[in-house]
Amino acid sequence: MSMTMSVIGFIIAWILLVVSTYKGHSAIYMSFLCALIVILFSGMGVQEGIIDVYMPALARLCITVFPLVLMGSIFGQVYVDSGAACSIAFALSDKLMKNVRPHVRKIFTIALIYIVGCLLCYGGIDSAALMFTLVPLCLIFFEVADIPRKYVAAVCVHVSCLCLSGIGAPTFYNIYPGLQMGTTPKAGLTVGIIALIINIAGGIIVASILAIKDEKKGLHFEWGNARKPSYDKDNMPNPIVSLIPIVVSMILFVGFNWHFIASIGVGIVLSIILFFKNFKVEEKGNKNSMLIGLFGSGTSSGINGAIVLCSMSAFGAVVQTSPVFTSISNALMNLNINTVIIYVIVVAVLGILTGAAVSGFQAGLTNFLVTPDHMGLSFDVLHRIGAESAATVNLAPYTGVVFVTLNLAGLTHKEGYGVMVKIPLLLMAISTAVSTILYTIFPALP
């Protein structure tokens, strides 16, 4: 079939995927439908495209993603249902915000969400599942500090994405490169630490400045369409005890290089033992039925999250068979600029073209690994820069994490995405640019 038809099919599939997910359709069935469109317009047989390309790509990613997202989701569910996440947040709040002025309270409240979010994610809670824990907490504390609700989604999604590419975090973007190159989650340590500081410090500063400006304009917190979370402050675990499982999990994963399944598994077991008495039991129920429900809820959200990610990657694999994709990819690889910059552009553009940041990361990394000497880039550079570039693309308006976070905060794209551009997207782009510049000037940075 002609290149023209391939181009038409590619454009139709991409627009349909973006618009449909923007309107709330599941990426699971839409990615399959859009893959079929690409297959038909490119002249590939349906059986060849689905059985030989789509399904194997979905299965390959599931091997890695499924246990990570599943266990991270269960871990997050334990922290929500036991009140442990709230316990940590309230303890920090009591210490940080006692007798402080309103403006200072806003700054401390925003810092609190970044601290708690990073603690939970680095402790093993999946960065996407984290939103189901962090957004309700953020709503509670932003009401007290009188910070407009539109900042809830921006701050929380920023925490998710900075942790997704964060140095040493147990996330797919840190684990996948290791499977391809043998790198560890601490690859690119110096640049990774700098990027983390830029995002956390920058997020707190920018969000605080914007929130204080809005206060002067007369804007305040309103619950609007958001659901007010319920919590029992008298039946929460001790905050120090609440920290133990995530700290142990973090030490095992980052300090002792345990496999993520083992380190998160230990955290889950410890949390159930330590928080057992704090779980709520419904009337006529018991702790056994409660635990069954807890694991069921965590598993459901974990399965859905894993399949969404894998199905988008599978769509990306089909797109990569299109001559359109190959032409664009080759053109980017042959740009006459520094190779670190080329890599950033390749991962970002291919992530946008395939509709999924994870596909852009996979395709970009593969393109460089098959070139002689990886075009002069070390494995550390390929790992760290690829993760940061992909995490930035993950903030596109049609991505799953953006939809979930806005929905949990009771916001529409019109109400909440503008602030996402001003805080997480801007800062992730800046940190990626700084990392790129550092590796361009000092390619051998540890």
Is the CA virtual torsion 195, 198, 201, 203 positive or negative? negative
Burial class (CB in 10 A: 0-12, 13-18, 19+), 434: middle
Q: Contact at 8 Å (CB) between 285 and 319? A: no
Burial class (CB in 10 A: 0-12, 13-18, 19+), 195: buried
> Which tokens belong to 227?
């659901």
Query: 3-state DSSP call for residue 45?
Result: coil
Give Cβ neighbours of residue 204 (< 8 Å, ≥ 6 apart).
Answer: 107, 110, 111, 114
Give me the pLDDT at residue 304, please: 81
Whole-angstrom distance, CA of residue 361 vs CA of residue 351: 7
Residue 9 vs residues 14, 37, 58, 320, 357: alpha-carbon distances, Å: 8, 6, 21, 13, 21
Query: 3-state DSSP call for residue 15?
Result: helix
Give me the pLDDT at residue 293, please: 84
pTM: 0.88
Whole-angstrom distance, CA of residue 348 vs CA of residue 115: 28
Residue 341: its H or E element: helix 339-354
Give me the pLDDT at residue 285, please: 67
The residue whose two tokens read 């038909």 is 40
List the domain boundaries for the chain: 3-441
The alpha-carbon radius of gyration of the chain (Å, integer) is: 22
Q: Contact at 8 Å (CB) between 344 and 332? A: no
Going by C-alpha positions, the residue among 391, 212, 420 that lies closest to residue 411 is 420
Tens-binned pLDDT, residue by residue, of the chain (446 aa): 567 888 888 889 888 887 887 777 777 888 899 999 999 998 888 888 999 999 998 998 888 888 888 898 899 889 888 889 889 988 888 877 777 888 889 999 999 999 999 999 999 998 878 888 899 889 999 998 999 999 999 999 999 999 999 999 999 899 999 999 999 999 999 999 999 999 999 999 999 999 999 999 999 999 988 887 777 778 899 999 999 999 999 999 988 989 889 999 999 999 999 999 888 777 666 777 778 888 888 888 788 878 887 888 888 889 888 888 888 999 999 999 999 999 999 999 999 888 788 889 999 999 999 999 999 999 999 999 999 999 999 998 888 788 889 988 999 888 999 999 999 999 999 999 999 999 999 988 88
Whole-angstrom distance, CA of residue 278 vs CA of residue 275: 5
The residue whose two tokens read 């019109």 is 414
Whole-angstrom distance, CA of residue 217 vs CA of residue 148: 11
Whole-angstrom distance, CA of residue 190 vs CA of residue 172: 20
Is the CA virtual torsion 331, 333, 337, 342 positive or negative? positive
Length of the chain: 446
Query: For the residues of 137-202, what is the DSSP string, one character each?
Result: HHHHHHHHHT--THHHHHHHHHHHHHHHS-TT--SHHHHHHHHHH---TTSSHHHHHHHHHHHHHH
